[in-house]
Structure 1
Amino acid sequence: MSAHIGVTGLAVMGANLARNLARNGYTVALHNRSVARTDALLQAHGGDGDFVRTETLTELVESLERPRRVLIMVQAGAPVDSVIADLVPLLDDGDIIIDGGNSFYEETRRREESLRAQNLHFVGVGVSGGEEGALNGPSIMPGGSKESYDTLGPMLEKISAKYNGEPCCAWIDTDGAGHYVKMVHNGIEYADMQVIGEAFDLMRSLAGIEPREQAGVFREWNTTDLASYLIEITAEVLEQEDEVTGRPLVDVVLDSAGQKGTGRWTAISGLEVGSPVTAIAESVFARSISSQRELRAVTNATFSAGIDETLSATEKYGSAEDRQDFVEDVRKALYASKLVAYAQGLDMLVAAGEEFGWDLDLKAIASLWRAGCIIRADLLDTIMKAYDAPKDQQPKNLLLAPEFNEAINECLPAWRRVVAAAATYGVPAPVFSSSLSYYDSLRRDRLPAALTQGLRDYFGAHTYQRVDKEGTFHTQWSGDRSEIDA
């Protein structure tokens, strides 16, 4: 039997992608360092399609049709390099190695360049949707050469999620572009989850709305412009009761959020390409501070909110009408902050395209996120429409698209009230707040950066430019304070 593709690394994601491929009519050669895991997969799911059992990478490679396609599904980092090193001597010119894990895009670029010099294709593929998506249809974001996509693409498109019949898979661009787009997807996901958490906290802390009641609120919100996968499952989580204590599950889950690195990478890369992804960065910092439990225990007993903390939630927003108005304000603040996260992520993709020489199609990328992935949301259709024009006619920022500009203006008063309430009553809302500051920074005619430049010139002779004439200038601060042409 000649297999269409080989999969090495059969943990949950690798196994589910292998099953997805088999279910879609492809013969899949299976390999894992532990043969027992291969056998367990075949015993449990061998009926999903045609599989070839192999015990070594040599057997895996020998079982594949040409050009060979080998999907690596191992832990990112050194394990990927190790598998590549073992595979390369077994492959021939034109064969394709695919990395479907959450690898750092710079490592993908390095690997692609190295393997290209050896006449092999290396494709970094962003895969979103978790275990369920891997099995039933994920959002797929492939990079690598266009030539490799011509061979691999039809297979990936067939196993991807579908939105109105359209595959949520398309070639992104060369080398690490696929993993970069997946990284930004995850950064937006971080911000999206954080603002949902902030909305939950504000409604409970300031309006006394308990988790089960909030489940109904989020279900209602899922019928509005907030409709999305994350809003949908938030209702499910908030409704869940703990079997042991009978309390809301969210009250017995440790309030220390984990992370696997992609959000942090997004924030760092934003700094490197000069793109202000403040909402994403604040969401990463929010997870970091949630993990500082010992410090929080000390400061909880030491720090004061500086307000009358004897006020109950019902006294802050006492009447049913007040609560209803506040919930609507939070909904609008959540939507506006969510838009900012998408706007920042897309701006970052534009900056990265300029930095790395990628021609990134924002409309196409938005289309990949409409199904199968974690940030799938109804607003992605509107985002696609915003970028359905030649590049020189597209909005400079997503918030400038007419539909979103109108939405922000409609949300703005509520957004300000929510951020003010959070500050007044001492409830942290870092992404709500930073997103509003981002919006205000964009709309201001003048920013205090002028003073920053003056200070930099004073202590470091870093020079500055003027608003009234061309050139670069320096004030002789330690001399007669005259201005000279620098």
Structure 2
Amino acid sequence: MTTIGVVTRGERGSAFVRNLTARGYRVAVADRAGAADMVKALSAPRAVILLASPGLDGLLAELLPRLEPGDVLADGDASRFSDTGRRTAWLRGSGVLFAGCAIAGRPRTIERGPSYVVGGDRAAHRRLLPLLTATAARFQNVPCVAYAGAGSAGHFAGQVHEELATAEAELAAEAYALLGDRAVLRAWQAGEMITEPAVPKDRPGPVRPLTVTVAEIRAAWYAARAVAYARAVERLRAAGAAYGWGMDLAAVTSAWRGGTALAGRLLTYAREALTAMPDEGLLDDPYFALTLRETRPAWRRVVCAAGRAGIPVPALATAAEPPVTASSFDAHPRLLR
């Protein structure tokens, strides 16, 4: 078995190494200072995974003279996609296969099995695929691994994942501010199969009675989440078209179903919609369209009631832009973007 080189610092890198060794991989580990010597000692063809930012450009410049055509370099850090694109162009003439690999999850999730979304050289992805498949989270026994597309598609998908995870956390915080009951929110999240519930610990509950029911608050929370997922997919689609990545939207949403804070049935519905209608937006899918049609009255009432009670719900309200009126919803669900 080829020894995998890992250049790492911090908890995420250590968790990744423990994941590899637990699955029987031989791993050579070095920090930034010892990276060049470690890479030089590896037998060709080499596979080196970097989790050692900041200063990645300098590290790449140091490692490149010690690598040969056909070696694989994978950036497993949360790099900006624009930096990954620049590095891909820089390494293209060297013969070294470069991939940007978005590794989702906290250290404990990475040790158990994260989600991987890879972009860059297809040959790099093929070389890494057995390793990624063996160490990834699984959803319904399917490894949570995706090849997103060429260039920096993987790291762009990673950025969108973080934005969507932030939206989930903000919507959970606002739902709790309206409910004032963590147990109810946890039950909702468990029902959605969210693996890392974002239950706020220090946000106050409502200080004034609301004129809406718990069921209406849940409907508003779910509808806003559905729109957030639809917008995330459109960001992926638009970037894939603009940069010529050939973004595989169904694969990306499938890989997010395990090993991330997003794991839930909305991703399953998204994957099914994108597999059946890859060129259509999620809000054109029958499930998502029906969901919004059924929840929009409650969503509108909740946002209005929160405003009257002086409870700020910017994430719920922003998700509903244009203004939440019957006419704006009835015109076309895509207006909710």
Give your verdict on TM over 0.5. yes
- Per-residue CA deviations over 1:15-59 (Å, capped at 9, x if unaligned) read 11111111111100010147xxxxxxxxxxxxxxxxxxxxx3343
3-state DSSP class of the match of 2:257?
Answer: coil
2:243 equivalent to 1:359: no
- Structure 1 match to 2:30: 31
CA 1:88–1:443: 2 relative to 1, 3 Å:
farther
* Counterpart AA for 1:119: G
Indicate conservation of the 8 Å contact 1:3/1:29, yes or no.
no
The change in CA–CA distance for 1:67 and 1:442 in structure 2 (over 3 A counts) is farther
Mark the structure with the bigger radius of gyration: 1
Pick the aligned partner of 1:156 from 132, 136, 141.
132
**1:179 and 2:155 matched:** yes
Q: 2:236 matched to which residue of 1?
A: 349
Is 2:167 the partner of 1:167? Answer: no
In the alignment, the residues of structure 1 paired with residue 21 and residue 146 of structure 2 have an alpha-carbon distance, to the nearest angstrom, of 21
Counterparts in 2 of 1:37-186, with a 5 A limit? 56-76=34-54, 79-186=55-162
Q: Distance in 2 between matches of 1:218 and 1:102?
A: 30
Q: Give 2:290's match in structure 1, choosing from 406, 414, 429.
A: 406
State the alpha-carbon separation in 1 of the partners of residues 80 and 11 from structure 2: 20
**Of 419, 422, 441, which aligns to 2:306?**
422
Q: 5 Å matches for 1:282-431? A: 313=208, 316-317=209-210, 326-389=213-276, 391=278, 394=279, 396-431=280-315
Q: Provide the rounded CA distance (Å) in 1 between the counterparts of 2:323 and 2:248.
A: 24
Mapped pair 1:216 → 2:194: no
The 1:363/1:68 distance shift into structure 2, 3 A limit, reads same
Contact 2:137 2:259 in 1 (8 A): yes
CA contact (8 A) 2:147 2:251 kept: no
User: TM-score when scaled to structure 2?
Assistant: 0.91
Identity level (%): 31
- In the alignment, what sits opposite 1:266? none
1:62-115 per-position Cα deviation (integer Å, ceiling 9, x unaligned) = 332322111111224xx1111111101111111111110110001001101111
Measure the CA separation in 2 of the matches of 1:415 and 1:228: 21
Structure 2 counterpart SS, 1:229: coil
Q: CA RMSD in A?
A: 2.2
8 Å contact from structure 2 (residues 175, 185) kept in 1: no
Q: Which amino acid aligns with 1:148?
A: A
Code of the aligned partner of 1:88: L
Q: 1:117 to 1:363 in 2, by over 3 A?
A: same
Q: Where does residue 14 of structure 2 map in the other structure?
A: 15
For structure 1, the residue ranges without an aligned partner over 5 or more in a row are 35-55, 204-208, 239-249, 253-310, 446-486
SS of corresponding position for 2:146: coil
- Aligned match for 1:229, one of 195, 204, 210: 195
What is the CA–CA distance in structure 2 between the aligned matches of 1:386 and 1:438, rounded to whole Å?
Answer: 24
Structure 2: runs of 5 or more not aligned: 333-337
Give the direction of change, closer, same or farther, for the CA distance of 1:24–1:88 in structure 2 (3 Å limit): same
- Inter-CA distance 96–439: structure 2 relative to 1 (3 Å threshold): farther
Contact 2:256–2:263, Cα closer than 8 Å, also in 1: yes
Aligned to 2:335: none
Q: Counterparts of 1:219 and 1:354 in 2: how far apart (Å)?
A: 38
Secondary structure (helix, strand or coil) at the match of 2:151 reads coil
Q: Distance in 2 between matches of 1:431 and 1:18?
A: 37
- Separation in 2 of the partners of 1:149 and 1:340? 31
1:139 and 1:371 in contact (8 A); partners too: yes
| Partner Cα distance (1:167, 1:128) in 2 | 14
Q: Distance in 2 between matches of 1:96 and 1:404?
A: 40
SS of alignment partner, residue 183 of structure 1: helix
Aligned counterparts of 2:330 and 2:224: Cα–Cα separation in 1: 16
CA separation of 1:438/1:359 partners in 2, compared to 1, >3 Å: closer, same or farther? farther
Deviation (angstroms), 1:312: 5.6
Q: Distance in 1 between matches of 2:271 and 2:176?
A: 29
Would the aligned equivalents of 2:168 and 2:198 in 1 still touch at CA under 8 Å? no
- Off by >3 Å, runs of 4+ in structure 1: 438-445
Rounded Cα–Cα distance in structure 2 between residues aligned with 1:312 and 1:134: 39
Aligned-partner residue type, residue 50 of structure 2: I
Superposed displacement of residue 381, structure 1 = 1.4
Distance 1:182 1:219 in 2: 26
The 3-state SS of whatever aligns with 1:387 is: helix
Q: Which one has more relative contact order, counting CA pairs under 8 Å at least 6 apart?
A: 2
Alpha-carbon distance in structure 2 between the residues aligned to 1:405 and 1:372? 28
CA contact 1:3–1:63 (8 Å) conserved in 2? no
Distance in 2 between residues matched to 1:182 and 1:18, nearest whole Å:
20
CA distance in structure 2 between the aligned counterparts of 1:189 and 1:65, rounded to whole angstroms: 39
Q: Deviations over 1:312-363 (max 9, x none)?
A: 62xx34xxxx6xx522111111000001110000011111111000222221
